[in-house]
Structure 1
Amino acid sequence: MARKKGRRRFGWVRKLPSGRFQASYLGPDEKRHNAPETFATEKDADRWLVHVEGAILRSEWMDPERAKIRLQDYAESWVNERPGLRPRTVHLYDWLLTKYVTPHLGDTQLGKLDTPMIRTWRAKLLREGVSASMTAKAYRLLRAVLMTAANEDRIIPRNPCQVRGAGSENPDERPVLTVAQVFDLASRMAEKRYRAFVLLAAFATLRWGEITALRRQDIAPDASSVRVRGAFVELPGRGLIYGPPKSRAGLRTVAVPEAIRADLLAHLDEFTGSKPDAWVFTGKRGNPLRRGDFNPRTGWKAAVKAVGVPHLHFHDLRHTGNTLAARTKASTKDLMARMGHDSPRAAMIYQHATSEADQEIARGLSGLVDRERGTKATDEEDDGQAGVLAPVG
């Protein structure tokens, strides 16, 4: 790329006392930048300068100084500056970074991260006993952070999180209760005040934070519907925090099945204060329910064991309700509205499960038809043989 001997159209190359060659250039920022390494030959240094010049002409140049920022520093800023994150999400991100990411990669400069390094980090987590699910969560967070660094801030040329399948989770299938099991579970709670809590969580498909944040004024006078206007999140050291639901779609009114309205009205009469802003579900002292108090206070563990699902989580009640709702042949849009989801992905998962169940039913019916036809054909064959062999007259 030299214009004439001793001069170059772009950049400079000089021979060092060691015999190696150093390349440098004037960047779009009007600052002089040295190559990150020296070269064995002048021709190698020239090739590097051609590559840099091409990146500048294509508007793909990355400031090498900015790429020297540590991953830990950049990730912390990424979380703090991320718009619209709920407090619980911020806490989760901070915890994942502190627990799994920064101890291993935090001091590494963004520009030095590469895919083999990410792959090694992930393998080390799994080797040290971190669950596949938690490792996938940490990987997805790191991928999101570096996606911003590559695509928005243009600090690095590409996202090094390119490990196939590393962000995928394959959690165990959660149990789905029958209608009878839901009512059985509700009746086995240690205190009557938690019967409607279980029924509403299942048949109105509410999240924990949503149901614990309900006030009397959110329940229709005839208990035909509940209005979700907010939700509780619980953060270590900060306690319960009331805020908006998980997503914009979480602000919704959910119709309550007629079969449980009497239970909800009875609960309001016996356990909820008379003021419009009184919490619907509380402990004996009238405070909103906290997760840490739920199991020992309500007898949840004994109850789920008694109904035959000892590993049932409270969130599985919502999972059950969504599954039952999908079996009513509701549309994806209607399921999304009831579940409080912005994306159709979750609704389609439940519809897919229902579709598979329907196909199983169809296969069973087909088997019945085949067996019936087979029996009839055999009978007809037997009748025909009997006619041939039967004595005449």
Structure 2
Amino acid sequence: MRYRRPDRTQTTKRGFTTKREADSYLATVEVSKMRGEWLDPSRSKVSVADVGAEWIAGQVQIKPSTLSGYRYTLDRHILPSWGNRRLVEIGHGEVQVWITTLANGLAPSTVRQIYFVLAALMKYSVKDGRINRDPTEGIQMPRKRATDRGYLSHRQVAALARECDGNADLIAFLAYTGLRWGEMAALKVLSIDFPRRRVDVKEALTDVRGTLVRGTPKTYERRSVPFPAFLEPPLRARAAGKQPQEPLFVSSRGLEMRNGNFRKRVFLPALKRLQDRDAGFPTVTVHDLRHTAASLAISAGANVKAVQRMLGHASAAMTLDVYADLFDDDLDHVADRLDQAASEDVAKMWSEAAGESQDPLTK
């Protein structure tokens, strides 16, 4: 049977056993054309693997590290399950079952990343006219689990810094500025504004399959971060004898710093030595030094907007979401601070009201 596509070109559909079947199919085609829902059957039969390759090739505006993550997720999780399936065959229910199965063995954050990539493929396919509906829409995702972040005290930061001999200043720098590892590793000598005691965060180094790639952070991550005065001498020592464009922090071999190498060779051995001497010393990661910076800033009285700007969060709401527990703890001290601030005036008020029968607070 021949019929016309919306662009007026002709195509053929075979396989009908009766004229009634053919007429019924033609009627559905005409209705879908009128509704703007008609799809070329040959395009909707394409496999997820083929669409995945197209979608990846079109991601030209994202960072290399992000693209590498998408490729890994596609190759490791999506293509083994869906690669040979045709787009038109995939239903909402089986996607939900798949996500639920993944959640039984993977962390919620990992499942969400996998879902994000599959959903992006399906949305691309809808926009490209390959399918009418997105089978990933409305999928129930696993709940995020509450995690215990590693917050170090001032004393614990000092102990860890001393144990990381030769990198004490690096530990202190991360714990008191809150920079991400990649942001720290990308700093140049000219990034430090010593008169203002500020760090200009404009770049980040990312390890993409063994290669360090220098890129620019998102707009809200570009920022000027203050550092305490006690960090100035070690930072000046790091900068001494270097040109403005040279890296500020380098490895013992003078190379750009890699998180994996530092963690394995310096950080974890130092942490183990501390915990061997003190079983109560927290188990932390290098990234937990960023959380520590937030904790120490909040305990020092920093408000949510200041912490947001220091950490380079997109919004204050994000900062509150991540560190709600710390701000809740801070609320416990509000009454004490109010009492302390008002104690002198309140005492005077009560003194003046002495001997009067009426409660001065109800006047």
Which category describes the TM-score, using the shorter chain as reference length?
0.7 to 0.9
Mapping of residues 1-393 of structure 1, within 5 Å = 25-33=3-11, 42=20, 48-126=25-103, 129-150=105-126, 152-162=127-137, 164-166=139-141, 169-170=144-145, 172-189=147-164, 191-192=165-166, 194-222=167-195, 224-237=197-210, 239-245=211-217, 247-257=218-228, 261-269=229-237, 273-303=241-271, 305-306=274-275, 308-309=280-281, 311-326=283-298, 328-332=301-305, 334-350=306-322, 352-358=324-330
Q: Is the 8 A contact 1:326 1:351 kept in 2?
A: no
Change in 2 beyond 3 A, CA 1:65/1:197: same
1:273, CA displacement in angstroms? 3.9
Whole-Å Cα distance in 1 between the matches of residues 335 and 54 of structure 2?
A: 55
| Residue identity in the other structure for 2:6 | P
1:56-82 CA-partner distances (Å, limit 9, x unpaired): 223232232222222112122212212
Whole-Å Cα distance in 2 between the matches of residues 64 and 344 of structure 1?
A: 48
Q: TM-score, normalised by structure 1?
A: 0.73
Q: Which runs of 5+ in 2 are unaligned?
A: 338-363
Whole-Å Cα distance in 1 between the matches of residues 17 and 287 of structure 2?
A: 59
Change in 2 beyond 3 A, CA 1:51/1:296: same
1:275-298 CA-partner distances (Å, limit 9, x unpaired): 212222111221111123202432
Q: Which has the higher contact order (CA 8 A, sep 6+)?
A: 2
Whole-Å Cα distance in 2 between the matches of residues 172 and 269 of structure 1?
A: 37
Q: Which runs of 5+ in 1 are unaligned?
A: 1-11, 13-23, 366-393
Where 1:280 maps in the other structure, the secondary structure is: coil
Whole-Å Cα distance in 2 between the matches of residues 39 and 316 of structure 1?
A: 67
| Residue identity in the other structure for 2:250 | T
**Structure with max Cα Rg:** 1
CA RMSD of aligned residues (A): 3.2
Whole-Å Cα distance in 2 between the matches of residues 345 and 161 of structure 1?
A: 27
Change in 2 beyond 3 A, CA 1:264/1:195: farther
Percent of matched pairs sharing the same residue:
25
Change in 2 beyond 3 A, CA 1:169/1:48: farther
Across the two proteins, how many residue pairs are aligned to each other? 332
1:97, CA displacement in angstroms? 0.7
1:38, CA displacement in angstroms? 5.2
| Residue identity in the other structure for 1:26 | R
Whole-Å Cα distance in 1 between the matches of residues 283 and 14 of structure 2?
A: 55
Change in 2 beyond 3 A, CA 1:362/1:269: closer
Q: TM-score, normalised by structure 2?
A: 0.79
